[in-house]
Amino acid sequence: MSAASPSFARVRRTLLARGAAREPRDVALTVYSVGLGALVAMVPIIRTLVLTLAAPGPAAVLTAPYVRALITTGCLLVLLIVTALGGVRGAVVPAPPYVQFVVGGAYPRSITLRRSMLSVHAVSVTVSVVSALIMCAAVSTAGSRITAVTVTSSVAMAVAFGAVLATAWLAGQVFRIVRTSSAVAVLLLAVAGTVTVTGGYTDAVAKIAASTASALAWPASASAVTATIVVCVVSAFVAIVASSAMLDRVRRTELMRQAVVWRAAGTLALTADMRGTVDSIRQPARHRPAHVRWATRSVALRILVRDVGGVLRHPVRTLVGAASALAAGALVPAMLGASANGAALAGAVSALLAYAAAGAWSDGLRSHADNIGAPTLFGFRAGTGILMHVVTPLLAMILLLLAGVALVTVPAAGGSPAAPPPEDASLWTAALALGVLACALRAHGAVKGPMPLRLLAPISTPAGDASILVITAWALDGPVLAIIAGLVLVMAVPGGVLPVLGATVVMLAILAPWAWLRLRDRRSR
Amino acid sequence: MTVLDATGVSVTTSGHVLLDSVDIRASSGECVAVRGANGSGKTTLLRVLCGLLAPSTGRVLLDGVPLSDRRAEHRAELSALVGSPAAYPDMTVIEHLELICASWKVPVDEAERRITSILDELELGLLRDRFPGELSSGQLQLFSLAQVLVRPFSVLVIDEPEQRLDAHRLALVADAITGVRESGAAIILATHSDDLVSTACTREISLDDAR
């Protein structure tokens, strides 16, 4: 390998010289853009995050005894999800020509893919460390005493977690352990949900977590910090070495498949074709359980079974959807009690996550909508089909969003009186409303149809053609409407249950006729 | 006796004539082939006959009543394959056929009999547990036909069923269409295949002549 490295460096220099060669001014522009972006966008976002987490509700969670168990569970869940995602989009996905001519060449993949993997490690560790620092800053801002020992051990743990996370992502790409990691993640979610609902979270799990690896991040004494740092550094080192060894086991066919799929997705995303982008990365159904006879004559029940079956045949998407919905639910309590900016941010992010999660359960809805305007195959009307296909995502979303709220408020109620009480009905109503609105937006999006050609007409302004703004707004109307819905709920939640219900009814009253007009337009096209 | 009857049907869009005054009628037990060069308006005519496109002039009657896609009884009577229907990507071939039968309230035993018969007729039995994404283009065409044929109907409208099929499978389709015709359904199909016309159809009209 040592003999090959210099020659590969020459190959790489040649590639750069022929292709994406960067001149000093390109590098300077990149540095300037990243720096400016960090200052203008990231710093305010991080500051808002710190202030949001420092509000009484979230801070109560961060300082509660069970926080170790919560963070350990969350980290394990993220590890499992990322491992499962490796089979869809791995840690290293270079451009197709690079895979064809360089990765498929004579050099070991531990050399040809090394830089990409190191970049993934760097990003993963950075995000992990920044997250840990945000939590430390939030706890400190909330008034709790936080020592250098705590910060140091948290950062060390974050470094190790970031490195292990990147390696787990690569492991998912190499070994395609989608089903196993998905199953373990679901099991983990089920256990966490059960102990939360039964009230055992604060006692039993906290004790278990305190005696396991999670305790490393919260060492009881200063002398234990050294041991923590050593363990974390060794873990990070082992993870990086393991990833280097694993690179040689990456299959070229799988790498090329992912490279082609993600290149196509990138191109479609640039053209603002969001539906095309999602379709291009959609994994085909793989899981094929034994054929089940449906004895019922009820069409609605058969559609429900069909949709549930479809969900089970896409374990990764289902898992990601479930995690997103739980996270959306967990953010709902932050709509109440946080600062105005924090509540707005929580509402917007929660609504976006809910909208994204609903997409994971809406395949039946989309497939059914694709047939609108074609000769009918089924013995029910298009609108009826849409309503029947909404049932599965609606049930799943409501259940998961409420579970998300419970995950935060039920343990918090035992841990700190500052947290929103679980009996605060407006929170549960807001979660319910979020689920209903996310599904309504999915149905509204499913009947959208192709982009009207009139939107492509140029719009002359002194700054140039502004038609791209209209096209982008049309392409992203779902997420934009979701954010608006989240912000409306944030305004309604402090008023109690009735304002939340009223706001939901008003938004549904706007969405339903709009969707019906789209449906009518599709049918007559 | 079911009759699909179109009189003086034409379609004009933005001043362009897509279909010019066509008369066509199909009765029970009859299979009418619509022939014509590319661009002669075959698919446009079939879209009108399915109620998907309103004619600019003329009228289409199904059992003496103006055809409308909004009428439940017309949707129940008329089965059509114009273009490829979008399939559920996460549902197997047989699950599609079962769902279609269930949506038309076909009893379970009767549905099983129909599905088995059609899968055998089109030689799709070995593909019953495949997802649509796992089928070749020819197999997809047969699957689309199976979806259209498995549901109850008395009028069948098909656009170029021979697409992407080899000679053997085209013969299977011709036999299936002949079976449907002999069971008493009225059929209108657009095709470029002489074999299909000679095997399955009882008469033909040419849109080239109409123009």
Chain B's closest residue to A305, CA to CA, is: B99
Residue A423, pLDDT score: 57
Highest mean pLDDT among A65-69, A183-187, B133-137: B133-137
Q: List Cβ neighbours of A458 (8 Å cut-off, separation of 6 or more).
A: A465, A467
Q: 3-state SS of A162-213?
A: HHHHHHHHHHHHHHCCHHHHHHHHHHHHHHHHHHHHCCCHHHHHHHHHHCCH
pLDDT classification of B114: cutoffs 50, 70, 90 = very high
Torsion of CA A136, A142, A143, A147, to 10 degrees: 0
| Nearest C-alpha neighbor of B172 from the set B143, B133, B192, B137 | B143
- A-chain residues near B100 (CB < 8 A): 377-379
Residue A57, pLDDT score: 72
| Mean pLDDT taken over chain A | 83
| Nearest C-alpha neighbor of B51 from the set A78, A335, A211, A376 | A376
Residues A473-524 have pLDDT tens digits of 888 899 999 999 999 999 999 888 999 999 999 999 999 999 999 988 887 6
Q: Describe the crossing of helices A114-141 and A223-247 by its angle, rounded to 10 degrees.
A: 150
Residue B196 contacts A where some CB pair is shorter than 8 Å: no
Task: Specify the long-range contacts of residues A109-113, CB closer than 8 Å, at least 24 apart.
Answer: A109/A247, A109/A248, A109/A250, A110/A1, A110/A244, A110/A245, A110/A247, A110/A248, A111/A1, A111/A4, A111/A5, A111/A8, A112/A8, A113/A247, A113/A250
Conformation bin of residue B105: beta by default, left when phi > 0, alpha when psi is -120 to 50: left
pTM: 0.77
Is there a contact between A367 and B147 if contact means CB atoms under 8 Å apart? no
pLDDT classification of A2: cutoffs 50, 70, 90 = very low
pLDDT score of A416 more than 50: no
Residue B100 contacts A where some CB pair is shorter than 8 Å: yes
Residue A415, pLDDT score: 46
What gap in Å lies between CA B88 and CA B106, rounded to an integer?
20
User: Hey, what are A54's tokens?
Assistant: 């420092």
- Which of B80, B89, B95 is the closest to A367 by Cβ? B89
| Nearest C-alpha neighbor of A243 from the set A117, A112, A111 | A117
Residue B111, pLDDT score: 92
Q: List Cβ neighbours of B19 (8 Å cut-off, separation of 6 or more).
A: B9, B10, B11, B41, B44, B45, B48, B55, B207
Residues of A at the B interface (Cβ-Cβ below 8 Å)?
A: 282, 284-285, 288, 291, 294-295, 297, 299, 302-303, 306, 309-310, 313-314, 363-364, 367-368, 370-371, 373-380, 523
Residue A213, pLDDT score: 47
| Percentage with pLDDT > 90 across chain A | 33
Q: State the best of B90, B130, B188 to mutate against chain A, taking most chain A CBs within 10 Å.
A: B90
pLDDT score of A199 more than 90: no
| Mean pLDDT taken over chain B | 92
User: Hey, what are B122's tokens?
Assistant: 């089109």
Mean pLDDT of A317-334: 89
Residues B58-70 have pLDDT tens digits of 999 999 999 987 7
Residues in chain B: 211
Q: 3-state SS of A373-399?
A: CCCCCCCCCHHHHHHHHHHHHHHHHHH
- B-chain residues near A375 (CB < 8 A): 50, 52, 78-82, 85, 148, 157
A vs B: CB pairs below 8 A: 91
- B-chain residues near A291 (CB < 8 A): 92, 94-95, 129
Residue A128, pLDDT score: 93
